[in-house]
Amino acid sequence: MHIPPRVLTVAGSDSGGGAGIQADLKTMLALGTHGMSVVTAVTAQNSLGVQGAWELPAEAVRAQFRSVVDDIGVQAVKTGMLSSAELVETVAALLADLRVPVVIDPVGVSKHGDALLAASALDAVRGALLPTATVATPNLDEVAQLTGVRVEGEGDMRRAAAAILDFGPRWALIKGGHLTAGEGSGDSAVDLLTDGTEEHWLRAPRHDNRHTHGTGCTLASALAAQLAKGDTVPQAAAAAKNYVTGALAAGFRLGAGIGPVDHGWRMRGAH
């Protein structure tokens, strides 16, 4: 009997299905792994934004985690929305006992600009959560929020990565998708993966598509799925970038605002 690699997401729920645990589980399935979830918060969310968010108690998060890990087991973990210092510290303590790859997506703000992390939780992310990471995957806004480093062009991405690595993750994947063509990235979406010694610049064509909801969650989940399958970090990052690029290109309109990327693009034969 074939048992697929098992991947756990610890994140918030997106009722619109474009980001959060919904995006994570779709990504994990698309990449041939068995996805499992620890829900940290419930959001009322659609293509227009986040209308409400309700954090789960730390006890409920801890119980979900233990239930899955102690019985089913995991081969990689990905974290997303952890809205308070208490949840950040709870999850960090749970992750500290694991001996599997951990991808930390330090979610701070939604695609629509809604805050998803309390300012009071930033110290806990820096001091407790990031040190558990095999790979941390901040976007440029999250880099600025956590380190104060503002990336204006590709030349600043090394400095951003160094600042993130100072908090203890083994690798930093700085996502440069927010850079515009006039900021040194040309017509490419460029990310920098580094452990402080090795450097891997990941480039992909930009697509003229505004339906980009869920890109950060999707990339981190794809990375975790590939690590669970046995890829090295550079191999996993390259494969995750390829998957997200295809999902972006195939993104579709749902609702009146920013639609989701298409997590099932490979199954539908897109691209």
Active site residues: 175, 212, 214-217
Q: Is 76 helix (H, G, I), strand (E, B) or coil?
A: strand
Using alpha carbons, select from 207, 206, 208, 235 the residue that is nearest to residue 222. Answer: 235
Q: Tell me whether residue 108 is exposed, middle or buried, using C-beta atoms within 10 angstroms of its C-beta: 0 to 12, 13 to 18, 19 or more.
A: buried
Strand positions, DSSP E, 62-221? 76-79, 102-104, 135-136, 171-175, 188-194, 199-205
Element (H, E) at 146: helix 140-147
User: Which residue is it, tokens 């972006």?
Assistant: 248
Cα–Cα distance measured from residue 15 to residue 24, given in angstroms and rounded to the nearest whole number: 13
Q: Is 108 left (phi over 0), alpha (psi -120 to 50) or beta?
A: alpha
Length of the chain: 271
Write the DSSP assignment of 81-98 as a string of letters.
Answer: ---SHHHHHHHHHHHTT-
Strands of the 76-79 sheet, one edge to the other: 49-55, 34-46, 6-14, 76-79, 102-104, 135-136, 171-175, 188-194, 199-205
